[in-house]
Amino acid sequence: MPKASATLKPVYDRSPTAKFDLQGPMADYLRAVTDQWLLPAPSANPAMLDIFRDRDRQPHRDMVPWAGEFAGKHITACVQVLRLTRDEALHERTAQFVQELVTLQGEDGYLGPWDRDNRLTGKGYNVRGRRGVGATWDAWGHYHIMLGLLLWHEDTGDRAALRCAKKIGDLFCEKFLGQKRRGRRLVDTGSTEMNLAPIHSLCLLYRRTGNAQYLQLARQIQDEFASRGRDGEPLAGDYLEAGLAEVPFFEGPKPRWESLHPIQGMLELHWLDGNEDGRTAFEHLWWSIVETDRHNNGGFTSAEKAQGNPFHQGAIETCCTVAWAAMSIDMLRLTGSSLVADELELSTINSGIGLHSASGRWVTYNTPMDGVRRASAHDIVFQAREGSPELNCCSVNGPRILGMISDWALMEEAGGLVLNWYGLGAISAQVDDTQVTLKQETEYPAEGSVKLTVQPERVCEFSLALRIPYWSERTRVTVNGEKVGGIEAGSYLTLQRRWRRGDVVEIQFDMRPHWWVGERECKGLVSLYRGPVLLTYDRRHNEMDPDDVPALDATDLRLRRATPEKHGAPAMLTMTAQGTDGRRVRLVDFASAGEGGAPYRSWLPIRKAGRARAFRRDNPLRSHR
């Protein structure tokens, strides 16, 4: 069956021809995560697949309601990391994992861990005399498996993976499409933030196959967003109507983080149908999140849901930040706004790296603004089970935020490239029929100087759009030594020219410190940034304890690079500043803070911070909207 052609095209999109040679700290994390987690995870946790094999066996396994998601999240993370690294061992291991997974699918297309009486019903069963798992997230688990398989097929052409995804889609259509009169709706399976997520994968499956039933069911699920129970209370998130009414996400019926995946599906329907309502609602929900719930470290949610308060001290869950990055990539594709890319950089450089251990062996459940860094296996150990001692929702999902760099680092538009990622290394892609390599020599984000060498295979004309972050008020750019004008913070600088091999673009970003003045729980404190990096006090690097950190003076803030400590894992960036009492404070990048288990703080005592370079939470973001 032919593929479906989308009605609308993104402003920018991932370049499918992109090849990456990332170096420096990011390359170190990718290597560590690959070697210490992605490669060993399936063999160290065989129940990741055995739960599907045993679904109709007695006695029943004791599982968490979302147990079916682990395999799909693992595949998705592997594929997206592979796009950056092209690691042969990881490719082979992922192929083996997918090959085994598809053999565990039922004849009817079911690929979950629950027995015949509980498949896609939202109901669990009693285990070992307990009350049981209650509502299951069975459709949610199938969503993640479909997403992983479709990404794998996109990159490898694996027909078995696509057949497996199609059989899941067929099962959903048989069970739920047009079954309202029989009382068989997906929304009635409960846990609707999670179990309505297949709207997203069904749209992607329709795009791949052209099967109209998948699109019909996706439309039906969108209609179910507005469903209400007999008492008139919302059964689902009502994302379309809430977004159109400009209701902030945190005030909607379902403000948990899982709702972001059904919202992604709403946008996919916009791409396919051309209905502007889906676009309008999506954009409003994204802006409401960035203005009211994105934390200083780029993390999203507090205590697993939106609170309308970025200063809230609730846990900032890894899965929530991963979902936020995925939604933001869609927002970047939709709008072509450099501010969205700024948000992706902020989240990735700070929380995205920071939720990983430097060893790559574990991720956090909670990556707080102030506190300590704990492994998810400690904070949410209740998810551990026989045969899967290391599995939890965050352990399988965390690496994805690093892999998603492949979606936004270098994008393409008609007749040109869009560079969002700055960092040591090289990225290449095709422009029309010409291979172009962009080589960067830089210490960014530790320093603001970037030497970008453009290396097309042959002389060719194309546009190269460079992201100018909103915090870089005084950016300087030269091309082959000639100064470029028209540079505006919070936008793209587009260079249209005939490029020759060896052309050099030099960029100097404005690395003067800037800050965010705290309110509510963080009143009287300030978050200090240098470029995109959130500077953080870490006890391991200082002589004073957390409650004794001296105040800094924003009007006389002299940050100086310092040599990293020799003991323990070194920080990626170390700066020193002098407190108002004369004591020296060492500040490190947020991603490195807490690596040794010591307490850290990213909300700092800084005086006179309202007088200069103080960016309010909604400024300049709103002024650039």
Q: Six-digit token pair at 527? A: 């978050």
Angle at CA 40, nearest 5°, toward 36 and 45?
Answer: 125
Residue 609 Cα distances to 167, 586, 604, 622, angstroms: 58, 19, 11, 21
Please measure the distance between the N-terminal and C-terminal CA atoms of the chain and give it in whole angstroms: 41
31, 428 Cβ separation under 8 angstroms: no
Which pLDDT belongs to residue 569? 73
Question: Which contacts qualify for 340-346: CB closer than 8 Å, 24 or more apart?
Answer: 340/286, 341/408, 341/420, 341/467, 342/467, 342/469, 342/470, 342/471, 342/490, 342/532, 343/290, 343/294, 343/298, 344/408, 344/420, 345/420, 345/421, 345/469, 345/532, 346/298, 346/532, 346/534
Determine the Cα–Cα distance for residues 417 and 411; give it in Å rounded to an integer: 6
* Helix (H/G/I), strand (E/B), else coil: 83: helix
Which pLDDT belongs to residue 182? 72
132, 124 Cβ separation under 8 angstroms: yes
Q: Is 181 exposed, middle or buried (0-12, 13-18, 19+ CB in 10 A)?
A: exposed
Bridge partners for 553 per DSSP: 607
Domain layout of the chain by residue ranges:
39-170, 411-508, 514-624
Rounded to 5 degrees, φ, ψ at 241 are -70, -40
Determine the Cα–Cα distance for residues 190 and 235; give it in Å rounded to an integer: 8
What predicted TM-score, i.e. pTM, was given to this entire model? 0.96
3-state secondary structure 373-407: CCEHHHHCHHHCECCECCCCHHHHHCCHHHHCHHH
Instruction: Give every CB contact of residue 366 below 8 A, 6+ residues apart in sequence.
Output: 315, 316, 317, 318, 374, 379
Q: Six-digit token pair at 390? A: 């290391």
Average pLDDT of the residues of the chain: 94
530, 513 Cβ separation under 8 angstroms: yes
Positions of the chain with pLDDT lower than 70, given as ranges: 1-7, 126-134, 181, 183, 566-568, 611-625
Determine the Cα–Cα distance for residues 111 and 140; give it in Å rounded to an integer: 11
Determine the Cα–Cα distance for residues 280 and 289; give it in Å rounded to an integer: 15
DSSP 352: I
Instruction: Give every CB contact of residue 223 below 8 A, 6+ residues apart in sequence.
Output: none
Residue type, 339: L
Question: Which contacts qualify for 82-87: CB closer than 8 Å, 24 or more apart?
Answer: 82/155, 82/403, 83/18, 83/20, 83/155, 83/403, 83/406, 84/20, 84/22, 84/30, 84/402, 84/403, 84/405, 84/406, 85/20, 85/30, 85/31, 85/34, 86/19, 87/34
Residue 9 Cα distances to 88, 215, 340, 386, 462, angstroms: 33, 17, 18, 46, 20
DSSP 10-54: -SSEE-TT-EEEE-THHHHHHHHHIIIIITTHHHH-THHHHHHHT
Q: Is 107 exposed, middle or buried (0-12, 13-18, 19+ CB in 10 A)?
A: exposed
Which pLDDT belongs to residue 2? 47
Q: Does the N-terminal peptide bond of residue 620 adopt cis geometry, omega within 30 degrees of 0? A: yes
DSSP 549: P
Angular region, 600: left φ>0, alpha ψ -120 to 50, beta rest:
beta
Angular region, 419: left φ>0, alpha ψ -120 to 50, beta rest:
beta
- Give the model confidence (pLDDT) of 378-415 as tens digits: 999 999 999 999 999 999 999 999 999 999 999 999 88
Rounded to 5 degrees, φ, ψ at 536 are -140, 140
Q: Per-residue b/e over 67-95, b at no fewer than 16 CB within 10 Å?
A: bbbbbbbbbbbbbbbbbbbebeebbebbe
Q: Six-digit token pair at 583? A: 């004591």
Query: Residue holding tokens 């990213």?
Result: 602
* Helix (H/G/I), strand (E/B), else coil: 621: helix
Question: What is the enclosing helix (H) or strand (E) of 476?
Answer: strand 476-479
Which pLDDT belongs to residue 568? 67
Question: What is the CATH number that goes with domain 411-508?
Answer: 2.60.40
